[in-house]
């Protein structure tokens, strides 16, 4: 129990040990990491399927005159989503020091960025849907499944963040020694963020290679 010996010494009985002291990795951390591992595998299968179908299809890709995807908007979306991890990190560091205001502000900033991302994605869909839909051909199916599935993850992540924000408004939900849930949600959010890079590469950049 190095590093926290003082805390334990201050406690009198076994009971006191049951607080959420940050010793080792918590079960929640492991649980979230495992969950993210299985989700990451899912995305790997999804992107693997994309490349499989693409290379089985033949030289012309995207097919049927759909044309290479525009790059500008996805790059803007990347610019919005990627930095959204920073306020989370900042918030998490804040709450570790008991600074609830940092938690709340950081989470709010992330929510804004994440929501902007989704809004941009909605406008992109609105454009694309005029050209092709999920039922046009296999490219359309892949495009909407992959981006839609990621969008769904962003939405889930935003729900988590929003939930954290809501709970953090109650005093005592989180504190210097009670921030496990913040960390777990943060792991998920970083994951959603990173997956986007893989998607950016697969969907938007790879057809141009």
Partner 1 sequence: MSTTTTPSPGASREDLARLAEHWGERPSLRAWFATVDHKRIGRRYLVTAGFFFVLAGLNALVMRTQLARPEAGVVSPQEYNQLFSMHGIAMIFLFATPMLFGFGNFLVPLMIGSRDMAFPRLNAFGYWVFLFAGLFMWASLPFGAAPNNGWFAYVPLSGEQNNPGLHMDVYALGLLFLGISTTAAAINFIVTALKLRAPGMSLNRVPLFVWAIVATAFMVIFALPALNLDNAMLFLDRRFGTHFFDPAAGGNVLLWQHLFWIFGHPDVYIIVMPALGIVSAVLPAFTRRGVVGYPLIVLSIVAIAIISFGVWVHHMFATGLPQLSYSFFSAASTVITIPSGLQIFAWLATMLLGRLVIRVPLLFVIGFVVTFVLGGFTGVMFALTAFDQQVTDSYFVVAHFHYVLIGGAVFPMLAGIYYWLPKITGRMYHERLGRWAFWLVFAGMHVTFFPMHLYGLFGMPRRVYTYRSEPGWAGWNLVSTVGSYLLAVGLLLVLVGVVHAVRRGRPAPADPWDGDSLEWSTASPPEPHNFPVLPRVHSLHPMWDERTAESVGPGATSDRILSEGRHTLFTSELDAHPERAVQMPEPTLKPLVLAAALLLFFTSMLFAWYPVAAVAALTVAATIAVWLWPPRPLEQDLKVVP
Q: Does 15 bind partner 1 (CB under 8 A)?
A: yes
Determine which residue in the list 116, 175, 183, 206 makes contact with partner 1, applying CB under 8 A.
Answer: 175
Q: Does 30 bind partner 1 (CB under 8 A)?
A: yes
Could you count the other beta carbons within 10 Å of the beta carbon of residue 66?
18
Q: Does 159 bind partner 1 (CB under 8 A)?
A: yes
Q: Does 46 bind partner 1 (CB under 8 A)?
A: yes
Choose among 49, 63, 27: nearest CA to 137: 63
Please, what is the minimum distance in Å from the beta carbon of residue 61 to partner 1? 9
Report the sign of the C-alpha dihedral through residues 125, 126, 132, 137, in that order: positive
Q: Does 9 bind partner 1 (CB under 8 A)?
A: yes
Q: Does 38 bind partner 1 (CB under 8 A)?
A: yes
Closer by beta carbon to partner 1, 123 or else 167: 167
Could you count the other beta carbons within 10 Å of the beta carbon of residue 108?
15
Closer by beta carbon to partner 1, 20 or else 127: 20
Binding segment (CB under 8 A) for partner 1, from list 72-80, 83-91, 107-115, 170-178: 170-178
Q: Does 207 bind partner 1 (CB under 8 A)?
A: no
Closer by beta carbon to partner 1, 113 or else 146: 146
User: Which residues fall within 8 angstroms of residue 70, CB to CB, at 6 or more apart?
Assistant: none
User: ∠ CA(86), CA(185), CA(43), 5° rounding?
Assistant: 90
Strand partners, 182: none
Contact set for partner 1, span 80-139 (CB under 8 A): 98, 134-139
Q: Does 194 bind partner 1 (CB under 8 A)?
A: no
Please, what is the minimum distance in Å from the beta carbon of residue 13 to partner 1? 7
Interface residue list for partner 1 (CB under 8 A) = 1, 6-11, 13-21, 23-27, 30-31, 34-35, 37-39, 41-42, 44-46, 49, 52-53, 56-57, 63, 98, 134-142, 145, 159, 163, 167, 172-178, 181
């Amino acid at each position: 129990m190095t590093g926290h010996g003082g805390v334990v010494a201050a406690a009198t009985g076994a009971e006191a040990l049951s607080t959420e002291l940050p010793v080792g990795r918590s079960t929640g951390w492991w649980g979230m990491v495992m969950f993210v591992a299985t989700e990451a595998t899912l995305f790997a299968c999804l992107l693997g399927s994309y490349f499989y179908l693409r290379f089985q299809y033949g030289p012309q890709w995207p097919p049927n005159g759909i044309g290479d995807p525009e790059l500008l908007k996805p790059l803007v979306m990347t610019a919005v989503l990627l930095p959204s991890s920073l306020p989370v990190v900042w918030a998490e560091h804040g709450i570790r020091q008991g600074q609830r205001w940092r938690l709340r502000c950081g989470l709010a900033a992330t929510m804004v960025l994440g929501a902007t991302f989704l809004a941009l994605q909605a406008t992109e869909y609105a454009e694309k849907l005029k050209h092709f839909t999920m039922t046009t051909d296999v490219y359309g199916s892949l495009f909407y499944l992959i981006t839609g599935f990621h969008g769904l993850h962003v939405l889930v992540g935003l729900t988590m963040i929003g939930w954290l924000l809501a709970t953090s408004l109650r005093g005592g939900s989180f504190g210097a020694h009670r921030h496990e849930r913040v960390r777990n949600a943060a792991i998920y959010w970083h994951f959603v963020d990173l997956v986007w890079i893989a998607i950016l590469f697969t969907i938007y950049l790879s057809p141009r290679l």
